[in-house]
Amino acid sequence: MLVLVAPGQGAQTPGFLTPWLDLPGVEDQLRDWSAAIDLDLVHYGTKATEEEIRDTAVAQPLLVASALISARQLFPTAGDLAAKVGAAAGHSVGELAAAALTGTLSEGEAMALVRRRGLAMAEAAAITETGMAALLGGSEDVVLPHLEKLGLTPANVNGAGQIVAAGTAEQIAALVEDKPEGTRRVVPLKVAGAFHTHHMAPAVSALEAAVAELSPADPHPRYVSNKDGRVVTSGQEVVQRLVGQVANPVRWDLCMETFKELGVTALIEAAPGGTLTGLAKRALPGVRTLALKTPADLDAARELIATTANAAAASAE
């Protein structure tokens, strides 16, 4: 079974969209979305600096656009994706890409919503100087009490020995100086706020208003939620979870547990891929993984899709 995943904030790097613009129709699609959401995705994805694309209001639409563009190179139609993918999920803002790829939202709706999300979360982040840092290694039994002692929130429980802490700049600095026992490294992330914590509560109201007029469809294929790793079958519930998730921890560890329970054998991460495949390699041994970083990865991805489909057909005989 193939799982398709979309990365979250921090995966972006300067110029990462540049090679994708060489593919037919990609630049036109990006310019259409740019006009619709009043944000120049082509400029920010090709020429902007690292600091410019660190801006939450810029990074989030860029990441969703990239995931959609790259995934559609592999699955040109919704029916094609539903036939070949067993489940889809996204990490944090990647959930909006997953909602579009599973047909819960249209691509236009997802881009409009991620624009509102990015702006609302940027406004919330501006209230207090906050940030996030990844802790590599260490057991949850040791890490979580240590974070609580410092007043930090475990905003992302990613599995594979990785927890992301979020809080004020002072709290993050204290964590860097005083890391939990057994933790190899504390790595500050390229994000501009303490996402998935109470610091983002003001953004929830803005998103509630933004989704009020949407009529989401039920997802196909299965949609796996960051809230608790559960498969969500109602489009309306997917959208409700998207709203609340901005102020609640991401449980990517539980998403990967669900992938395992569903029988995952292969996982493809949409562009700019790498982070989630890295976690899967450690947490899902034996699962074939592939990260879409540039269009040069598309042929290998197509081969993996075909191999997985053939194996599924053989096992069904």
State how far the Cα of 59 lies from the Cα of 8, in Å rounded to an integer: 9
196 a catalytic residue: yes
Token representation of residue 126: 């501006």
Among 62, 55, 275, residue whose Cα is nearest residue 156: 275
Angle, CA of 81, 9 and 234, to the nearest 5°: 45
Token representation of residue 42: 């082509």
Angle, CA of 195, 198 and 203, to the nearest 5°: 65
Among 61, 20, 57, 1, residue whose Cα is nearest residue 193: 57
Token representation of residue 253: 């560890």
List the catalytic residue out of 34, 66, 146, 196.
196
State how far the Cα of 282 lies from the Cα of 278, in Å rounded to an integer: 7
Encoded amino acid at 283, one letter: A
92 a catalytic residue: yes
Token representation of residue 32: 């259409």
30 neighbors 15 (Cβ within 8 angstroms)? no
Cis preceding-peptide flag for 272 (omega within 30 of 0): yes
List the catalytic residue out of 34, 66, 92, 225.
92
Number of H helices, E strands in the chain: 14, 10
Beta-ladder partners of 5? 89, 269
Which residues are designated catalytic?
A: 92, 196
